[in-house]
Structure 1
Amino acid sequence: MEGLALLQNITNKRGTMAILSNILFVADGNTLVLTGTDLEVGLRIAIPAEIDNTGSITLPSKKIFEIVRESGSSELLINETDNSWVTIKAGKSIYNLAGIPSDEFPSFPEFGEDEFISFEGHIFLDLIDKVIFSIAGEQENIYSLTSVLLEKEKRESESYLRMVSSDGHRLSIMEKQVSVDVDVIGLIDMTLIPKKGIQELRKFCENRDAVDISVTTKQLVVKDDKAVMVVRLKQGEFPRYQSIVQAVPLENHIRINRILFLESLKRINLFTEDIFHTIQLQISGNTMVLSSQNADLGNARDEIIIEYSGEPLTLGFNCRYFIETLQVMECEFVDTYINSENSPCLMKSERDKGFLSIIMPMQL
């Protein structure tokens, strides 16, 4: 059940090849190996089983998952009959399910067993959760923005891994110090992990204390003793995000209570237009006034206390970008830097070490 559940998001999407909606079952020794792929992400899971006769077949992913989920039986008996049909017995229930011969299933990508480095699972969870929300959608013209940039950096004797995402209107950066020497990791200058790969990598790491990672120019491989996943990397150039970060001077500082700001934004968002979620922020002294207007519904206004000593500002931003950024942060107070009405907004905090977000302004 657990293995089939992990394979559902990989196999159940509309594609040109019918067999990609199937899971490959390989029975050998005392192990049943389940494999699914969409040619971008491939996942192979080994589960213990009692094997009477070795063999292989592919079965419809969604249907076999539904059978196992609804069966209510602690054990299943799967038996191949003629013409790639299987009989499945679960308690008093018997199902006959049509499969496809296994020789039509795409081959699983090859990888070297000696190229892996072990990481704590939470390292990748922390990195992914801080950047996944700002990956561009598939309709984005800049192809590389539909991926996350994975980088390594050595500062003196300390090693860091960094993930960066952007949809062209905002930028999210998260880095974590790691105990492994990153010089031995095969990251190239542009290691781009597609959004689907990032989503599946997160699921893979979620309930694992440690994972083994290998990166080449074309693929990322993550595994443990029971499963292995291969993600095909994208090719392209990610924008030089460092210049954007350096362009925001850390001078005009606003300190805001994160929870109060987040709750206020959610209230104001009730009256934003659906497409752009535009809100106005008026900052003067220690007060921020948030307002939104919807041509069909009406308007909203809210006010919160902040710490600010600069010149008054009237700003326009996409409300949803602020909400999504604040939701992944953990601090009590957010340090915000906005130089003028037309400059980007940089957000970070001492509590959210390694995280930085930049949001571009909108014209009011």
Structure 2
Amino acid sequence: MHFICERSVLNEALHILQNVVGTNTTLPILSNILVEVSDKKELTLTATNLEVGIQFKLDVEVKDQGTCTLPGRKLFEMTKEMAGEKIEIEVSSDYIGIIKSGNAVFRLMGLSSDEYPRLPRLDKVHTAKLTASVLRDLLKKTAYAISSDEARYVLNGVYFIVAKGDVVVVATDGRRLAMVKKKTEIDPNLDAGIILPAKTVNELMRILHGDIEVEILFSETQVGFKLANMLMISRLIEGKFPNYDQVIPKKTKESVVIQKEEFQNIIRRVSLINTGKSNLVKFRFNDGSLTLTASNPDVGEAKDDMSIEYKGDDFVIAFNPVYLLDALKILDDEQINFEFSESTAPGVLKSGDDFTYVIMPMKLR
């Protein structure tokens, strides 16, 4: 196998592939990347950890076709540090790769490709298209609420729904729920609901940028994301996602418009007094103001307030400030709506017409 290509193009692909290179000690070959050169002037690079697989197809100058596997992270590090515009890779029959660029030459030990797992084929596929920036925004506004509790495995990802031309993405860990809804031009007859694993969501958020079109390929147990010269295929989480609609309060007694940045800053300041054992902040709404207080018997106390347009009764509720900050820091709107009813009922944070965040209160003490 022997080919020449643009070093920057190869390195860009390897930068993404090395994030999914496996560390499975029972299958050492998963730490390698599958390298295939065809007689069609095309290089195919594949990496998988058996949960997520990514494949790139690159245009190259083919000297000799063939296939092998090379250590993924080392290959990325080498191509990153080399200085030449072009890179030349030649692999011998005993899978030793000679990598040249500029004045640098590396000798890299590879393995046969015979035992490397191929990406699964997607059968009975339904498709939908979104721009990369829209898909990334949907995931960014929900991913932080994914549960890490493996006992509740259906919550270890985001629920991704396509119905009536809308896309709805939901995540919850049982203490808060994030939901975002987007009207799209997707075929209104397409009806699909899948649970995307957290690893897949994180990889997508790393990869997706700009207004490039992403084709989403839905099948029964897998999902694919195709953009430009890249294909990602992921396993789905099997099971039934909880009825998220039941968690969202249909009515609340009060709704307050709050300046997002000031609200975010005051929460961050007051929560500085908290430690791991004490992570509660009280929110007191009274005529024209919102006062935040926190106390820690080992550290001290904190208090701060801000002006708001509120004319209701004096009201106190407590939340974990980390959960509120997680949502606030990913929102772009200058103002948010904060809704509440009782100190023991969930609070609801809304931004625009598409984002809803439900957060369970903490017990007042």
TM over 0.5: yes
Separation in 1 of the partners of 2:222 and 2:277?
36
Q: Contact conserved, 1:278 with 1:319, CA < 8 A, in 2?
A: yes
* Cα distance in 2 between the residues matched to 1:334 and 1:7: 38
1:229 alignment partner in structure 2:
232
Indicate whether 1:201 and 2:217 are aligned: no
Partners of 2:281 and 2:318 in 1: how far apart?
6
| TM-aligned CA deviation for residue 275 of structure 1 | 5.4
TM-superposed CA distance for 1:14, in Å, is: 4.9
**Secondary structure, counterpart of 2:61 in structure 1:** coil
Shift, 1:82, TM fit: 4.7
Q: 1:273 to 1:240 in 2, by over 3 A?
A: same
How far apart, CA to CA, are the structure 2 residues paired with 1:136 and 1:45? 31
Cα distance in 1 for residues equivalent to 2:334 and 2:82: 47
What is the number of equivalent residue pairs in this alignment?
353
CA contact (8 A) 1:281 1:289 kept: yes
Q: Cα gap change, 1:334/1:225 in structure 2, threshold over 3 Å: closer, same or farther? A: closer
Give the counterpart of 1:55 among 49, 54, 66: 66
The 1:162–1:276 alpha-carbon spacing in structure 2 relative to 1, beyond 3 Å, is: farther
CA shift, 1:5, in A, is: 0.5
Deviations 1:73-103 (A, max 9, x none): 2122111125321111122221111111111
Distance 1:22 1:292 in 2: 50
Work out whether 1:136 is the aligned partner of 2:140.
Answer: no
- Choose the corresponding residue for 1:309, options 311, 328, 336: 311
The equivalent position to 2:159 in structure 1, one of 149, 160, 181, is: 149
Deviation at 1:10, TM superposition (A): 0.7
User: Cα 1:254–1:135, aligned 2, differ >3 Å: closer, same or farther?
Assistant: same
For 1:332, the aligned partner's letter is: E
Counterpart residue type for residue 4 of structure 1? L
116-125 vs 27-36, which moves further:
116-125
Q: 1:26 to 1:17 in 2, by over 3 A?
A: same
Return 5+ residue gaps in structure 2 as ranges: 1-10
CA shift in 2, pair 1:118/1:72, >3 Å: same
Deviation at 1:254, TM superposition (A): 2.2
Of residues 9, 31, 37, the one that matches 2:19 is: 9
Aligned residues of 2:317 and 2:343 also touching (Cα < 8 A): yes
1:20 alignment counterpart:
30
Q: Aligned with 1:124: secondary structure?
A: helix
Which of 15, 35, 43 is residue 32 of structure 1 equivalent to? 43
1:71, distance to aligned residue in structure 2 (A): 1.0
Task: Map 1:256-295 onto structure 2 (within 5 A).
Answer: 256-274=258-276, 277-295=279-297
Q: Mean alpha-carbon deviation: is it higher for 61-70 or for 296-305? A: 296-305
Give the corresponding residue for 2:361.
Answer: 361
Segment drifting more, 264-273 vs 202-211 = 202-211
Report the secondary structure of 2:94's partner residue: helix
Number of the residue aligned with 1:162: 168
CA 1:168 to 1:338, structure 2 compared with 1: closer, same or farther past 3 Å?
A: same
Cα distance in 1 for partners of 2:223, 2:49 equals 15
Query: What is the identity, as a one-letter code, of the residue corresponding to 1:58?
Result: T
Distance 2:147 2:124 in 1: 33
What residue identity is the alignment partner of 1:196?
K
**What amino acid is aligned across from residue 195 of structure 1 in structure 2?**
A
Find the aligned partners of 1:165 and 1:235 in 2 and give their Cα distance: 15
- Report the AA paired with residue 151 of structure 2: N
Query: TM-score, normalised on structure 1?
Result: 0.92
Deviation at 1:172, TM superposition (A): 0.4
1:269 aligned counterpart, secondary structure: helix
Q: For 2:325, which of 323, 326, 330 is the aligned residue?
A: 323
Q: Say which of 176, 182, 189 aligns to 2:182.
A: 176
Select 1:95's aligned residue among 106, 117, 122. Answer: 106
Corresponding residue for residue 123 of structure 1? 134
Contact 1:248 1:344 in 2 (8 A): no
- Residue type of the partner of 2:222? Q
Equivalent pairs: percent with the same residue? 28
> More displaced, 302-311 or 198-207?
198-207
Residue 112 of structure 1 and its aligned partner are, at CA, apart by 5.2
Aligned partner letter, 2:363: Q
Residue 250 of structure 2 is aligned to residue 244 of structure 1 = no
User: Structure 1 unaligned runs (5+)?
Assistant: none
Q: Which amino acid aligns with 1:284?
A: N
